Structure 1
């Protein structure tokens, strides 16, 4: 029993040392990426206006040099070409996509929700991007996420000379969402660990004192194990180096 408990203590110590936090945002869906269990970016409602439900035909739009870009967020919207008096290259009456591009009386899908990738690596300015990537990995368009408390989201097309179109999305839903839980899993484990250690040494010392008449260092349960622990650690280090 004592050996099992000693092994448990070593395992918890190794877990406590190796567990580290990370700032990498892991993409879970076209709308969501998570930094941790309690921190995330969720743009599923990024295009919502006045608390109204987002409809398939609702797009944010901006114009530059006569060209118009329509953004439906991280889901594909339905763009009615007839209502906008536009044509498409395949004579369709509707387009379905996340980002629609209009130029010279024609419109096309520039990006679909399935092509969305989060670019959320560490950045000194705290900026995060969405990109639409084609089948060959080329970037079709990029959208910078701007955290803004203003309730009316908007997009802005930036002047650009390259093939990659760059836009800016300003929305309160582009902010990092952080929850403040009571105790994390690691904290609970550490508390349980110290409670178990306290019970182990105190109760073990009492038993040794009254039953075996131990005194001094002999009051420490399994004292031979603890004396040999530094050597065991060195042996493990040499084994895994």
Structure 2
């Protein structure tokens, strides 16, 4: 009975972890969707978006080996073809033999997420397959302050592992800046002001037959406003003016 309960707990744990996936949106975007009953890692609704670091179709990252013989080229968001593979995203070029090897195709890419129960953190990687071969590549995404691409290791002659460091692999790290609440308020204020004067002037012109400055709605208030502002300013700074003439027009409190 104890074994059955333990198995159920383990299966439930893995089911909860599995629900915390960064769901594929396109080859450079995934979103951590909220799932009922899932463990909260603080990333629900968050997005990983690499479009801000790769948009021109050229290989964004180069990782030459110490010997200079091998160069790994990576373009995460747009295919940068190896000579014989138009949809390649990862390429290996060996200089001395001039051999070019496709390590992963843009159309055969998936996001994979694993969880660390101890640290309560998620790790996301981009997994690629090369069409027409057994080659697979894993690009581990590590949140960092600068963009850097590294080859890590090769296993079994077919499996390659890389690490991509970038602010854009942080959750919500490279989202396009949105409009702030203050900006929205300012936009609404000036739109309201424009409507106020536009409709008010049209109404007084058509209905009242007003001309000149009388066409402005509440014209007496608006044309006296600069003088009121000036008087208020002088009154505000009057303690600093001493016995200047402008100050003497007000009664001391």
> TM (normalized to structure 1)?
0.49
Higher CA-based Rg: 2
> TM (normalized to structure 2)?
0.47
